[in-house]
Structure formats: C-alpha cells, structure tokens
Chains A and B, each alone.
Chain A
Amino acid sequence: MPGDSPGGALVLSEVAASTAPASRSRNIPYVSLGIITVFVLLAVLAPLLGLADPFNQSLRNRFKPPVWEEGGSWTHPLGTDRLGRDMLSRIVWGSRVSLAAGVVTVLVASAFGAAVGLVAGYYGGQVDTALMRMTDATMSFPVILLALILAVTVGPSFTNVVVAIAVILWARYARVIRGQVLTLMHLDFIAQARLAGAGAWRIITRHLFPNTLNTLVVLVTLQIGYVIIVEASLSFLGAGIPPPTPAWGSMIAEGREFVTSAWWVSMFPGLAILLVVLAFNLLGDWLRDTFDPKLRQL
C-alpha cells in the first residue's frame, strides 16, 4: 500500500517513470565513473604509492620539464614546480586535498540544507516563510567575498574554505528540497500517514526524506565539482588552501604566470580538475536524467 516507506520512496520514481520518456538510463557514464574511481583511489592510496615527497623543495631543480620534453627525466615524470617539488607527487597528494574539500563541503552543506528544506516544506506557513527568508539572505552573500573575509580575518586554511562555501551553499539545497517537499505534501500518501497518526518527525524522516534522496544525490554530485572550482578561484585571490599544502586549485594559481614558459606547472593540475569536475558533472547529469528529468532547476 503506498504510504509507508519504502513504498513512499517508490512513489516519486513511479511518477517520474510514467511521465518521463525512457531516458538514457541505459547509457551509464562509465568513463565518468572510471575517472572518479581512479582519482579517488589515487587519493586514498597516495601514501602507499612510493611517490616523492610533495613538500621537498630543491631550488636547483625548479621548473624541470616533464620526461618527454628536452631536459626532463624519469625522476620527475611530470616535471617540477617553482620550488623544485615533484609535480606527479603533488598532483596525487593534491587529489586528497581537493577531493576532500569538495566532498566535505558538500556533505556539510547538504545535510544542513536538506534539514532546513524538509522542515520548511513540511510545516509551511510562518516557519516556512522565516526559513526561506533566511535562506534567501544567505544565498545573496557572495561566496567568494565571505571566503576572502574569513581568509583575511583568521588566515586561509582548509577549514576556512569548507566553512566559507558550506555556510552559503546549504541555502541552495534548502530551496530545492523545500520545493520538492511542497510537491510531495500534496500527495495522498502524506495525508494518509497523518490520518494514521504519524507525527512530524516520522513523516519527515520516513516519508519525505527518502523521496528527496534522489534529488539530493544529484545535487551533491553536481556540487562537488563546483566546490573544487570555487576553491581554485579562491586560491587565485589568496583565500584558498594555503601553501605548502598541495591542492589543485592553488597549484594552478601558482603556475599561472608560466602558461607558456613552464606550462606543466598549471596544465597538469588544470587537467586533473577538468577531468574530475567534468566527470562529476556528467555523472550528475546522468543521475538527474535517470531519477527525474523534471529536476530542471538543478
């Protein structure tokens, strides 16, 4: 009987399946998944890969080109950076930092945002209005400015980047989830659950939340890439993850002066970001198409 989860969870996808054209759910984006897996593995296994020390600087060896260029060698297959540190090692270790930044920020933002959206959508009325105005106020504060202010006040750090982005990103989730909940609230199974005596907590957690999970997953996937890109922009402005920690964004920022003379310093981390973010974006797109193409506002 539709109403109890997991039955409730099926409602939306049934609705979706009936109205949406048979989408590309068969065209699983293997390439994207592959790229993400590779980088996640690199990130997790970094300490075990026997790479050079990413912090070891040697001014004598600065700007060594990659192995296939003249002057390159296998000691530094992807060359060295401004301070003579091995690029390959920094890219692999950088994947830990950049991916962690993306994932942590998005998890924090989505948890809080979803909670707000669920509560706002469920209770409606004054609660909804108040929460939504708070959400609007939050969304109108530019992320980059907040990150800059934080960086200038307490100094740039990994935590600052996460906090600065998450503190504003949650509003997006809140808005979207609330929209979803509003639609769900009109459906019969909620009214039935109420009649059956279910309280707010039960309805939110067992009926509403599972039905928003799809949206959350899509949004989370799409936003990880966004966070990685924002971190790069913050590094450019001096508010990103600070040196000497290897992070793709700051590596590109550091190497941006040498686009023609020492292209590998910015090109390789740039390629890494491009691949990973592209992969997350395409995966997110596919997820959205599979779950509900109607989620057009994502």
Chain B
Amino acid sequence: MIRFVLSRLLQSLVALAILSVVVFILARATGDPLQLILPMSATPEDYAEARRYLGLDRPYLEQYLSFIGHAVTGDFGMSLRARRPVSELIRERLPNSLSLAAFAMSVSLAIAFPLGVLAAVKKGTGVDRAAQVIAVLGQSLPTFWVAIVLVEFVAGRLQWLPAAGNEGFSSYILPGFTLGWFVVAGMMRLLRSAMLEVLDSEYVKLARVKGVVEGKVVWVHALKNALIPVITFAGIYFAILVTTAIVVETVFAWPGIGRLAYEGISSRDFPVIQAVVLTTAAIVAVVNLGVDCLYAVIDPRIRYAR
C-alpha cells in the first residue's frame, strides 16, 4: 500500500513537472506584461530597463529553471502587476476559494441526498423523474446567468441576502448555491445508482427478511453503503468546484484564486498565471491521489491491477 501511494506521488510530481513546462510556455505566449505596467510615454530604453529589472530578458531556459527552482520552495516570484510576492497573493485568496467550495459542496450534498434517495426508492415513478429533472436543471443553465439572476432578484430586489462582501455566513449563500447547484446532478446520479444497486443486494434483502423496518433499511443500511462511491467522487467534485469557480467569483466579487487567475491572464502576469495553474493542479492531484487510495482500499482488484 505504501509503495502504491509513493509511486502515485512520484507520478503526480512528474505530471506537475510536465504541467509546469506547459504553463510556462502558455503564460509567455499571452503577450507582454510591460505594455500594461509601463506608462504610454515609456521609451524603448525604459522597456529594456524594466525587462532587465524583472528578469524577463534572461534566456527562457534560465527563466524556467529559476521559476521551478523557486517554486519547489513555495516561492512563485513576484507578481508583475501588483509587485507583491505571488505566494502571498495565493495565501490571501486560496482560503476564500476553499471555503466557498466547501460551502457549495455542502449545499450540493444537502440537495443531492434527499433527491437521490427519493429517486432510488421511488424508482420509475413520477417522483423519480421529477428528482432527475430538478438535479439536471442545475447543469443546464449557464452559471453566470443563474448567478446574475440571483443577484438581481434575491439580493437587489428582495434584498434578502447580500450580493457580495464578507458579512459572514449570509455572504456564502448565494455564491455557494450557484456554485453547488452545478454539481448536484452528478452527485444525485451517483447516489441514486449506488442506492439502487445496494437496495437490490443480498445484504438488504437479508435485512428485509429479518424484519428490519423499511425506513431503517433505506436510510441506515442502504445509504451507508451507497455513500462510499459518492464520497470518493465528492473529492473530485470539490476539486472541480475550486478550479471552476471563476465565473461565480466574478459575479459575486469573491476574492478567490479563480479571479486571481483571470486578473493574471488579463494583465499577462506570468508568475501569477503559472502559480495559480500549478496550485490548482496540485490540489487536483492531491484529491485524485486521495480518491484513488480510498478506491484501492475499497476495491483490492484495482490495487493489484497496477
């Protein structure tokens, strides 16, 4: 098992290394950040001086090695736009993304659970169908539109909840719901099919024969087992929530890393672009590793197939 974890870790590092090269090239392909930093009156000498000062005149290989060398110590260089250490910017904003994702996750689960269980128990009926449609609805609308409609009506007209800002819990509700609704469908499907499988299993049949109350059968015995695949995928969904929140962050003025990446790309801020992509990739890699470990523990066949 240890060997499994270690080998996967190594492979993840290799993947991250490849990714670092890719993002290094992509970031530099976006354009020239000096155009935006230096004023209109800057002369070619000013540009040369700025390039030298920021280390952008070194050969690409040297820049890359410097970038990697520092990155492994957690130093992602200085933001060209903000002139502050990038790791500081990430430290400032990553927790916001993580907390929003966690909130969205709980909203998702809170909606997906009852829908999934209901759909499984009332399989084939109108309830099942209705639950399916409700869940899928969240995936069938562009996120920004849901966000804006919520902001306009719930925050602007009804004024029940804040549209942005940090008023604590209430500020999480609208963005969290918008973000979470998108993954409800996937979770609900998972839960439904897992429940269906379990409800049909010998284990449950035995419980029924033994005379266990149906409610307990469903909500305790079946759910317990159906949760396993859902939990393993919850990790992946969490990673998705963190990495795709940029639209929600923009509408709700939420200072997360999605927005940081957008600002970085808009200002051709190479260090920021590189850092955000690698950070999110690392998060996804860690989550994937955790999920795979969990899977390997649950299903030994997979472990040995490596």
Contact = CB atoms under 8 A, between A and B. Distances in A.
Contact of B148 (A140, A237, A259, A293): A259
A129 B243 CA distance: 25
Nearest to B240: A142
A266 B193 CA distance: 36
B19 interface: yes
Contacts, number: 152
Contacts of A252: 142, 144-145
A149 to B, nearest CB: 5
Interface stretch (B63-71, B106-114, B206-214, B281-289): B281-289
B30 interface: yes
Interface in B211-259: 229, 233, 243-244, 246-247, 250, 258
Interface in B7-32: 11-12, 14-16, 18-19, 22-23, 26-27, 29-31
Interface centre among B140, B197, B200, B261 (most CB of A within 10 A): B140
A273 B148 contact: no
Interface string B170-207: 00000000000000010001100110110010000000
A274 B140 CA distance: 5
Given A136-B285, A142-B243, A297 B144 contact: no
A249 interface: yes
A294 B30 CA distance: 43
Interface in A126-180: 129, 133-134, 136-137, 139-146, 148-149, 152-153
A46 B180 CA distance: 36
A158 B164 CA distance: 33
Nearest to A233: B247
A297 B189 CA distance: 9
Contact of A137 (B16, B132, B142, B148): B16
Contacts of B152: 259-260
B199 to A, nearest CB: 9
B277 interface: yes
A136 B12 contact: yes
Nearest to A296: B193
A293 B196 contact: yes
Interface centre among A140, A148, A293 (most CB of B within 10 A): A140
Interface in A241-298: 249, 252-253, 256, 259-260, 266, 270, 273-274, 277-278, 281-282, 285, 293-294, 296-298
B34 interface: no
Interface residues of A, number: 49
Contacts of A202: none
Interface stretch (A70-78, A105-113, A190-198, A224-232): A224-232
B193 A293 contact: yes
A229 B247 CA distance: 12
A236 interface: yes
A277 B144 CA distance: 16
8 contacts: A129-B306, A141-B281, A148-B262, A153-B29, A236-B250, A256-B148, A274-B137, A285-B189
Interface of B: 11-12, 14-16, 18-19, 22-23, 26-27, 29-31, 123-124, 132-133, 136-137, 139-145, 148-149, 152, 185, 189-190, 193-194, 196-197, 200, 229, 233, 243-244, 246-247, 250, 258, 261-262, 265-266, 268, 273, 276-277, 280-281, 284-285, 288, 305-306
Given A134-B18, A140-B280, A142-B280, 12 more contacts: A24-B124, A129-B11, A136-B15, A137-B15, A137-B19, A141-B277, A145-B276, A145-B277, A152-B31, A152-B265, A256-B145, A297-B233
